[in-house]
Amino acid sequence: MLGSVVALSLLIACDGDPAPAGGDALPDAGGPEAAPAIDGGLDAAAPDAAGGGGLGALGRVVGKTVLALSSDRMKVYGWGSNIYGVIRKDPSPGQLDRPVSLDIDGLPAGPFRQVVSSVDKTCVLTEAGRVHCVGDTGANDSLGNGDAESHTTAVPLAAGEIPAGVKIVAIDVSAFTSCVVGDDGHAYCWGDFHRVPDLDDGIDTVTAPHRVVHSEPFGKIVDVSTAINRSCVLADGRAYCWGLGQPTHIEQGELPAGTKLLALRINDDFSCSPADDGEIYCWGTASGRRFGNGTSEFQSDSPYTKVSRANLPASVRFKDVTVGGIAAASCGLGTDGWAYCWGDGGDGSAGDGDLTDHEVLTPVPVVRGEVPEGVTFAKIACGQYHCNALGSDGFVYSWGLNEDAVLAVPGATHPAVAHPVRMSPLQDD
């Protein structure tokens, strides 16, 4: 579950849809009213999003494609890279500099629960607990529909090892591995077998959901996040991560006894999570600036490490986090509805008003830029070199490098910005 603007980055099949090649379609799990809420509620719609910009949820950002849901969750909008046809079925233009409604054959009707995108695929999850994906699979990946082929039409997720009647409540995708969480408390993954645990070495690609198991049983899994080199699940307030092997728990480190993590936000070399004590904890192998703890010293296999609150008002706690790419910032979302970012600040990715290459070792508040007084942030998602934040007015405000138009503003006038700029109006045609 990445907090970053992202986002982030999931669909339902109608009764009578044909089963995908190589596996049966996931059986219908019932109506949307039965879908349980994701613990932590971190993808909730902005409180005032019904007016203004018209957006109500923001997907995790992986790479240079950004996806968002309308305030009523009936439409999906996208902008940025479209080179694999993950926003519009016609891959030309290769990029879109304003939010446009998705034009992809095979997508079901809303309401939608979640939308995610990696570099080469888009998936939507409906409130009824069904998933559809579209895009390019490369050599060792799959859209989870039972084959290893690329698809220009959205295909439904195959049942695989998901029991009949189980609803999908969360999804995350990356270039090689994708995973979902069921309301049965289990996680199911597919893609490159090296990154799907507990499989025979003779398997090259897992083309349908495979249940993630562990030598010691998990508690109920409530979230999953995946990146190129590793994936993590969240169970009983603790993270279990794997790369080439079985999931292992993270050492306690600075996480106080009894404190529970709320959601997962991971990248290729490190991960972060907001916790129920109002702090953010990060772990992994990366430069200390990724952990926001005041140092740039390289940390290997770090246990839970608390992000500094040195520049936050005393009354503000963290309620969400997003992690950016290898040369970007990460950001925490405060209980005051504002963003505090750290990491690499080059090309304005920290939103601190500075376009030069510089390190931000502890979270600093994002400057207001084009965000009107009184507007706060409901969700943040950071990508490879930029961040997006969903405002309480339903607009997205973005900063950083405008590569492939990820800021949703005309690229000629905004090659890179060090403060939030407001997205262009929504476009439905």
Q: Flag whether pLDDT at 14 surpasses 80.
A: no
Q: Read off φ and ψ for residue 203, nearest 5 degrees.
A: -90, 130
The pLDDT of residue 48 = 45
Q: What is the mean pLDDT of the chain?
A: 86
Between residues 92 and 130, the one the model is more confident about? 130
Q: Which residue(s) pair with 299 in the sheet? A: 286
Architecture of the domain spanning 32-422: 7 Propeller (2.130)
pLDDT band at 26 (very low <50, low <70, confident <90, very high): low
Interval 4-10 mean pLDDT: 32
The pLDDT of residue 18 = 34
Question: Encoding tokens for residue 150?
Answer: 């690329």
pTM for the model stands at 0.88
Q: Which residue(s) pair with 135 in the sheet? A: 121, 151
Query: Across the chain, which distance is largest between two alpha carbons, in Å?
Result: 58
**What is d(CA 384, CA 178) in angstroms, rounded to the nearest whole number?**
19
The pLDDT of residue 410 = 84
Q: Looking at 193-328, which runs of residues are DSSP E strands?
A: 205-211, 221-226, 231-235, 238-242, 248-249, 265-266, 270-274, 280-287, 298-306, 318-322
Interval 337-357 mean pLDDT: 96
C-beta separation of 310 from 362 below 8 A: yes
> What share of the chain in percent tops pLDDT 90?
68
C-beta separation of 96 from 404 below 8 A: no
DSSP structural state of residue 64: S
Q: What is the pLDDT of residues 154-172, one digit of tens each?
A: 999 999 999 999 999 999 9
> What share of the chain in percent tops pLDDT 70?
87
**What is d(CA 129, CA 35) in angstroms, rounded to the nearest whole number?**
7
For 346, the 3-state DSSP assignment is helix
Q: Of 45, 42, 97, which is closest to residue 75 (Cα–Cα)?
A: 45
**What is d(CA 300, CA 285) in angstroms, rounded to the nearest whole number?**
4
76-81 vs 65-70, strand pairing mode = antiparallel
The pLDDT of residue 319 = 97
Q: Flag whether pLDDT at 358 surpasses 80.
A: yes
Q: Which amino acid is at 193?
A: F
Q: What is the pLDDT of residues 396-414, one digit of tens each?
A: 999 999 999 999 998 777 8
Q: Read off φ and ψ for residue 193, nearest 5 degrees.
A: -65, -30
Q: Read out DSSP for 145-156?
A: SSS---EEEEEE
Q: Which residue(s) pair with 55 in the sheet? A: 70
**Which range (55-64, 84-93, 197-206) has the least confidence?**
197-206
Question: Tokens 């109506």 correspond to what residue?
Answer: 31
SS3 sequence, 53-67? CCEEEECECCCCEEE
Q: Read off φ and ψ for residue 195, nearest 5 degrees.
A: -110, 10
Question: Encoding tokens for residue 95?
Answer: 């990029």
